[in-house]
Structure 1
């Protein structure tokens, strides 16, 4: 059995969101084609995502210096458990699907908070004398990103800190198979919105059909 973790980051209802509609279509298609897959969902605007705060940072530094977990204060233990619960759930999955909009050139804030719980030293990466090494090799990530304008190329490319940011983090922790589905210019050309959404549906259909848990190489986008 392969495990798929579906992470959504939009407070809108699913039918009101381009990225969530395409994400749901992908998940339902994976379920239909790969019946033995286990699918879990994280809705970062519907459930509590622990924040990396001063208490966590203090606890992290104490643990890094050799202090035992049970020597931490109760509130320090609590936040470490909450963060690591998210980390462990992420580590257990084989395939990750992120569905989110591009807001103010970046990912939604609650998605950033979630990403902070999966980039954890000694769990998803480790430091070595030759530099950091990711620990999650052999896994696949699919990014579904919608935006009002076009950012993946052209004059606004330098402001694209959504998929670029996620690719950087995911590659850093060892995920070497990443594919991105872009729906761009969704507000710029309303007449083309349905066409672009349909193209995204077709693209995720191909992804689901090709999903042998050995997808495209990192950075090989097939957006239309």
Structure 2
């Protein structure tokens, strides 16, 4: 039985955000296709995501030197356990779905804070003399990104640090099946909003079918990101 972790990152209400609407549609399609699927959700704007601060960095140095969490000062123990709560939940899931807007060329700040809880040395990757080694394998991820401009091509391509950043982090820790629904440019062409939103919803349903097809080979042909546009990123 596959387990899913849905990570949403937009302070807007779900009905006011197309990225969240598409994310919800994908998760509902998964649940419909596989009612036994285990689905957990994190809304980073409603969950107390810990920030990497000086206390955590000090604790991390002690742990790297061989200390056990129980040997840390009480304040550091609390911070480490709070971070590792998200790390362990992430490790336990088989499939990740991220839904978020592209803001100022990057992901929302609280989503970045969440990423800092999942890219953790000795838990999701480890250092070796030959270089870092990922510790997660056999995982899958879907990135649902919305933006007002077009970043997949053209003059803004080099400014896209959303899906490209998340893909890099996920690949670094071992996730090697990543699909992107990129909804972009609808602030430029609002007349096509409904049609392009429907395209994104259809793509989400198609990917949901792939995600629940345990034991079936995944289509290599979908390795390329699908590009869509969205109104109201």
**Shorter-chain TM-score range:** over 0.9
User: 2:69, 2:89 → 1: CA distance?
Assistant: 20
Report SS of the residue matched to 2:153.
coil
User: 1:4, 1:89 → 2: CA distance?
Assistant: 10
Query: TM-score when scaled to structure 1?
Result: 0.96
2:156 matched to which residue of 1?
A: 156
Q: How does 1:13-28 map to 2 (within 5 A)?
A: 13-28=13-28
1:172-220 residue CA offsets vs partner (Å, 9 max, x unmatched): 0000000000110121111111111111001111101222256456953
Highest relative contact order (Cα 8 Å, sep 6+), 1 or 2? 2
Q: How does 1:65-214 map to 2 (within 5 A)?
A: 65-211=65-211, 212=213
Q: RMSD value over aligned CA atoms?
A: 1.4
Q: Which moved more, 1:52-61 or 1:66-75?
A: 66-75
Q: Is the 8 A contact 2:184 2:227 kept in 1?
A: no
1:49-76 residue CA offsets vs partner (Å, 9 max, x unmatched): 0111100000000110112322211110
Report SS of the residue matched to 1:117.
helix
Q: Report the number of matched residues.
A: 224
Q: Is the 8 A contact 1:177 1:216 kept in 2?
A: no
**Alignment gaps of 5+ in structure 1:** none
1:56 matched to which residue of 2?
A: 56
User: 1:125, 1:216 → 2: CA distance?
Assistant: 27
Q: Is the 8 A contact 1:203 1:223 kept in 2?
A: no
